[in-house]
Amino acid sequence: MKVGVRAKLFLFVLLACAAVVVVQAIAMRLVMERGFLGYLNQQSRTRMEEIVPRLEQAYATRGSWDFLRSDLREWMNLVLPFLQETGGDAASRLVAPDQAGALARVGLLDAQMHRVVGNSDVNADSIRVPIIVGGRIVGWVATVPFDAVIPKNDKRFLEHQFTALTLVGLGSLLVAAMLTLVLARALLRRVREMARATQQVAAGDYASRIAVGANDELGALARDFNRMAQTLEHTERARRGFMADISHELRTPLAVLRVQLEAIQDGIRSPTAQSTNAMHLQVNRLGRLVNDLHDLSLSDVGAMAYRRVPIDVATVLQAAASSMQERLEEVSLHLVLETTQAPLMISGDEPRLHQLFGNLLENSLRYTDGGGVVQVRCIQRSTNALVVLEDSAPGVPDDKMEKLFERFYRVEASRNRATGGSGLGLAICRNIVEAHEGHITASASQLGGLRIAIELPLIPV
């Protein structure tokens, strides 16, 4: 039979409470029986130890216990504690303090454990203290244990106390059971809500959320679940957008290639240098897209190879700018490069940094109007190397800045796909910068276009 979580939780807490109550009951009973009664018996032993010296002296004087067998008064004189200090007869001395009633329970045993005088119930099983004369045991002072002579009324009182203790324990268990049931229902209601939301997320409903409720562990779990669901929802939207974008990006050059090839196959168009160049352009576009996708996938999972060594970031920037100089001039873009004389040493991978700066310059090349300016600066800011790339118009609206580093995102009104960009370059740039423990931001440029700022941590020289 399947046992639910609520039943398990209820039984567990109830058993824990029952165990506590039982242990407390047993402990209190032991304290009563062994503690209090043991204290009274110890008082009796103390009384007997006070008697022993007088009995030893009397035995040494008389030579036997025969003098006590027929003379109860003599026994009383030896047993009563203040005989030597007070006057009066034995009857008056019976009122001497004896809260435990020890003297009434005392008797004398000879060396063979036979009763001589005193309480008729004393025997070898009684509490005993030896009487030693001449190095040998000549008798025993014995007393009946207190718990063996408790009056019936006192026993009934103790039994009533134990019964009351049992009832208190049962009442405590009942209260614990009720509280446990309420607690189990409250906890499991929230657990069931989490289970329901988990099932919905597992079924693909990433919009499912859980009410946080109290600020406890379950509330923290609910907040974590909501963040996870939000991340999954965002990831699913990005995945669908990614699939739509990549299918569109692949479809466009493939469609151009198919039209060109079918026209040649059908004899509508002869293979000329112009048609070949057009097809080559589309093939290059497909190649760039595939390469960008490959780099992006590697950087997303952290599999892109980085061989970081101390390197001057300004040197890498100059090399990347030099490789793009001719292409920029072809579209009438003026490149302005400003770097510091002192080296700016960082721990970096030179090919990846070259790819980073090349992507940024490629972005300006594609989207900046002819006759414009591309300005690149590399300076030191505090403990970081700051690389700033700015270009002239057209610009990017402020509300679109934070989306520039998302894959396939383009500002259609100005920086459009007609120039051949896939929308992956800046996403790759962000991953490369973050792999170097740096930070990249986008903002409006005073030149009228886009400003990209990169900060990379310097290393001691």
pLDDT tops 50 at residue 297 = yes
> 146 vs 268, which has greater pLDDT?
268
> 245 vs 97, which has greater pLDDT?
245
Query: How many Cα atoms are found within 13 Å in the side-chain-facing hemisphere of 335?
Result: 20
pLDDT class for 61, splitting at 50, 70, 90?
A: confident
Domain 217-299: state its class: mainly alpha
pLDDT tops 90 at residue 391 = yes
Report field, pTM of the whole predicted structure over 0.75: no
Q: Are 68 and 117 in contact (CB under 8 A)?
A: yes
Locate 418 and state its tokens. 């007609």
| Average pLDDT over the chain, rounded to an integer | 78
If residue 450 lies in a helix (H) or strand (E), which one and from where to where? strand 448-457
> What's the residue count for the chain?
461
Condensed to tens digits (0 to 9), the pLDDT of residues 238-281 reads 677 667 767 766 777 788 788 888 888 887 877 888 778 878 87
For residue 384, what pLDDT is reported?
Answer: 93
In CATH, which of 3.10.105.10, 3.30.565.10, 1.10.3210.10, 3.40.30.10 is domain 306-457? Answer: 3.30.565.10
Rounded alpha-carbon distances, angstroms, from residue 443 to 246, 369, 390, 414: 27, 18, 9, 16
Query: How many Cα atoms are found within 13 Å in the side-chain-facing hemisphere of 213?
Result: 18
Phi, psi of 414 (to 5 degrees): -135, -60
Spans of all domains in the chain: 5-148, 217-299, 306-457
Condensed to tens digits (0 to 9), the pLDDT of residues 27-53 reads 776 666 666 666 666 777 777 888 888
Residue among 49, 42, 61 nearest 131 (CA): 49
Query: Highest-confidence range of 15-19, 49-53, 238-242, 403-407, by mean pLDDT?
Result: 49-53
As a whole number of angstroms, the distance between CA 15 and CA 27 comes to: 18
